[in-house]
Amino acid sequence: MKKIVLMGNPNVGKSVVFSRLTGANVIVSNYPGTTVDFSKGKMRLGKEGHEIIDAPGTYSLEPSNKAEEVALEMFGQADLIINVADATNLERNLYLTLQILEQKKPVILALNMWDEARHTGISIDIKKLEYDLQIPVVPTVALSGEGICDLIGRIDEARSPEKIEPMNESDRWIKIGEIIRNVQQVTHRHHTLRDWISEASIRPLTGFPIALAVIVAALWLVTFIGETLISYIFGPLFTLYTPIAMGISTWLGPGFLQELLIGKLIDGQIDYIQSMGLLTTGIYVPFAMVLPYIIAFYSVLAVFEDSGYLPRLATLTDTIFHRFGMHGFGIIPVFLGLGCNVPGVLAARSLETKKQRFIAATLIAISVPCMAKNAMVFGILGSYGTGYIILVFATLFLVFVISGLILNRIIKGDSPEICLEIPPYRKPDTLTVLKKTWMRIRWFLQEAIPFLFLGVLLINLLYAVGFVEWLGGIFAPVIQGWFGLPKEATTALLVGFLRKDLAVGMLLPLGMSPVQLVIATTLLTIYFPCVGTFAVMFKELGIRDMIKATAFMAGTALVVGGMMRFVLLGI
């Protein structure tokens, strides 16, 4: 079995080529750096099966960040390289191509975005290019699938040219210049509407109002889609389910199993938020409260990513993100973290230095509310009015800014400047968007739901053995004395460690005032992320940095909680 590796610059549609070749589900994006986690798939050529790997995008074989290191590693293991290049930007893409060819591995070149090159007035003589590079060259349009069959058919023609010897950087550019003059012709084109929109959205004066409008529209869209899904799909489903759950409850009769599966009945009825049974709250919270918004969020995000807007947003926010020790690219992990913190922390990988990665991961864990946290905030405070909800989010925003400023000061290390390609706006492909959204939702279901069940189960068990009472007693001085909350709120904090959204049902019956609830929910969002986020922080940052981040979180929670108590409760 051969190892075939796809290599190419960021943004050339490499992942789309990959998914065309394998039919596998991979995440594809219009901004550099997404594919840090490489994807693997299987592919059949004639009778033989091959392993095919999608390496992260890279500009050269001398890595300048983690993603590029991964790419180089993949390159080392490859038996055959499919080099994907952007036909609209051949000159720059050829740099990597030449470096690959110098390494004497069999190579085939896919000239992707062939249609776009034609539209922009670029014509490339394939025959001449094949002659110059001495490898097969296949024009492709991965989004529509054009040329992919050709590419597969010619993979066995891949070879390593004898004429190209290792050379230094300037010789490489000279060689590229020769090739370009020989094979490429560019007819000048006029500025189009797309160029005009592109410039307006990246100049500061027009860019900021546009960004604001875009974000407000996106939030509105997420809320609208989420609410629609709840009122027409998930809500009615649970209305149908209630009699079944009640039936099970009656059939089980009072006892431990009823406690565990159905939970407490409130006025003889199931209360999906407060009952805390595996088959009631354990199903309702993830499916009817969080999932609809996860679906809404990730579909809107996918459209965003594939349109090419995110690099522009990164440019706009660069100046401010520098104050937080990151650069504009940091907005991308933060954005992903708004859906679920876990992929957010994972995406922090694409930042160049340890300092940047640490700050991004810590800030996400502390102050970026994921959909589960949002569900909790809305679930608890929704009935008291929007003002209280805004209070929570305003506090989180302040915590983000202040923590960022502090972390930038106290964390040693470099924060290099931004260096980011701005891809042209592209119309998102419906199929790719749906595929990507589905991948992320499936991932959420697989990773997050087990924790939720586990959470409900564990809480019920810990309650039964009296552990929760005992822990509540220990933390009572902090909870009561410092935060001004009833000591039973400890349970909610404990549950929140497993799943934030479950804590709603624990806080509601305590009869706290709205202001106390504001403090409790804010604390629940910042004190610790959920177990899942902890696990990836451990994996990404290592044990020492994770402990550092944890200490910072605990400190922040203490300070913020205490201050909120003084400001809001006045004692």
Partner 1 sequence: MEKPVTYLETGKNAVIIRLEGGYLFRKKMGAMGIREQKTIRLVAKYPFHGPVVVEVDGREMTIGRRMAEHVIIGDPE
- Are 156 and 79 in contact by the 8 Å Cβ rule? The answer is no
- What secondary structure letter does DSSP report for 479? I
- Are 124 and 111 in contact by the 8 Å Cβ rule? The answer is yes
Q: CB of residue 326 vs partner 1: minimum separation in angstroms? A: 12
Q: CB of residue 421 vs partner 1: minimum separation in angstroms? A: 5
The interface with partner 1 within residues 155-174 (CB under 8 A) comprises 169, 173
Q: CB of residue 170 vs partner 1: minimum separation in angstroms? A: 9
The interface with partner 1 within residues 317-336 (CB under 8 A) comprises 318-319, 327-328
Q: CB of residue 322 vs partner 1: minimum separation in angstroms? A: 8
Nearer to partner 1, 310 or 375 (CB): 310
Nearer to partner 1, 120 or 550 (CB): 120
The CB density around residue 524, as the number of other CB atoms within 10 Å, is 26
Q: CB of residue 24 vs partner 1: minimum separation in angstroms? A: 29
3-state SS class at 535: helix
Q: CB of residue 214 vs partner 1: minimum separation in angstroms? A: 17
The interface with partner 1 within residues 205-244 (CB under 8 A) comprises 207
- Are 136 and 130 in contact by the 8 Å Cβ rule? The answer is yes
The CB density around residue 312, as the number of other CB atoms within 10 Å, is 23
Q: CB of residue 318 vs partner 1: minimum separation in angstroms? A: 5
Sign of CA dihedral 66, 72, 75, 76: negative
| Candidate residues 108, 314, 489, 517; the one interacting with partner 1 per rule CB under 8 A | 314
The interface with partner 1 within residues 496-555 (CB under 8 A) comprises none
Pairing relationship of beta strands 107-112 and 137-139 according to DSSP bridges: parallel
- Are 366 and 556 in contact by the 8 Å Cβ rule? The answer is yes
Q: Which pair of structure tokens corresponds to residue 246? A: 């009640």
Q: Is 491 one of the binding residues for partner 1 (CB under 8 A)? A: no
Q: Which of 492, 469, 482, 467 is nearest to 561 (CA)?
A: 482
Q: CB of residue 179 vs partner 1: minimum separation in angstroms? A: 15
The CA-atom distances, in angstroms, between 511 and each of 281, 410, 456, 495 are: 20, 40, 22, 18
| Candidate residues 95, 304, 324, 388; the one interacting with partner 1 per rule CB under 8 A | 95
Q: Is 185 one of the binding residues for partner 1 (CB under 8 A)? A: no
Nearer to partner 1, 61 or 260 (CB): 61
| Candidate residues 46, 47, 162, 204; the one interacting with partner 1 per rule CB under 8 A | 204
The interface with partner 1 within residues 403-422 (CB under 8 A) comprises 416-422
The interface with partner 1 within residues 97-126 (CB under 8 A) comprises 120
| Candidate residues 42, 49, 62, 212; the one interacting with partner 1 per rule CB under 8 A | 62
Q: Which pair of structure tokens corresponds to residue 547? A: 């402990």
Sign of CA dihedral 426, 432, 434, 438: negative
Q: Which of 115, 90, 91, 10 is nearest to 429 (CA)?
A: 115
The CB density around residue 292, as the number of other CB atoms within 10 Å, is 23
Nearer to partner 1, 48 or 62 (CB): 62
Nearer to partner 1, 69 or 227 (CB): 69
Nearer to partner 1, 64 or 228 (CB): 64
Q: Which of 129, 184, 124, 132 is nearest to 161 (CA)?
A: 132
Q: Which pair of structure tokens corresponds to residue 263? A: 């939970």
Stretch that binds partner 1, among 75-83, 307-315, 438-446, 473-481 (CB under 8 A): 307-315
Stretch that binds partner 1, among 85-93, 103-111, 268-276, 370-378 (CB under 8 A): 85-93
Q: Is 292 one of the binding residues for partner 1 (CB under 8 A)? A: no
- What secondary structure letter does DSSP report for 63? -
Q: CB of residue 33 vs partner 1: minimum separation in angstroms? A: 14
Q: Is 89 one of the binding residues for partner 1 (CB under 8 A)? A: yes
| Candidate residues 315, 350, 374, 521; the one interacting with partner 1 per rule CB under 8 A | 315
Nearer to partner 1, 92 or 442 (CB): 92
Nearer to partner 1, 64 or 77 (CB): 64
3-state SS class at 511: coil
- CA 317/CA 331 separation, integer angstroms: 7
Residue with tokens 């937080």: 324
Q: Is 184 one of the binding residues for partner 1 (CB under 8 A)? A: no
Q: Which of 236, 365, 228, 346 is nearest to 293 (CA)?
A: 228
- Are 96 and 8 in contact by the 8 Å Cβ rule? The answer is yes
Nearer to partner 1, 48 or 91 (CB): 91
- CA 521/CA 543 separation, integer angstroms: 28
Q: Is 144 one of the binding residues for partner 1 (CB under 8 A)? A: no
Nearer to partner 1, 316 or 489 (CB): 316
- CA 37/CA 290 separation, integer angstroms: 26
Q: Is 355 one of the binding residues for partner 1 (CB under 8 A)? A: no
| Candidate residues 42, 44, 92, 104; the one interacting with partner 1 per rule CB under 8 A | 92
3-state SS class at 394: helix
Q: CB of residue 85 vs partner 1: minimum separation in angstroms? A: 13
The CA-atom distances, in angstroms, between 105 and each of 4, 21, 79, 97 are: 11, 20, 7, 11
Q: CB of residue 34 vs partner 1: minimum separation in angstroms? A: 17
Binding residues for partner 1, rule CB under 8 A, total 33
For residue 141, the cross-strand partners are 146
Sign of CA dihedral 503, 222, 439, 36: negative
Nearer to partner 1, 167 or 508 (CB): 167
- Binding residues for partner 1, per CB under 8 A? 59-60, 62, 64, 88-89, 91-92, 95-96, 120, 169, 173, 198-199, 202-204, 207, 311, 314-315, 318-319, 327-328, 416-422
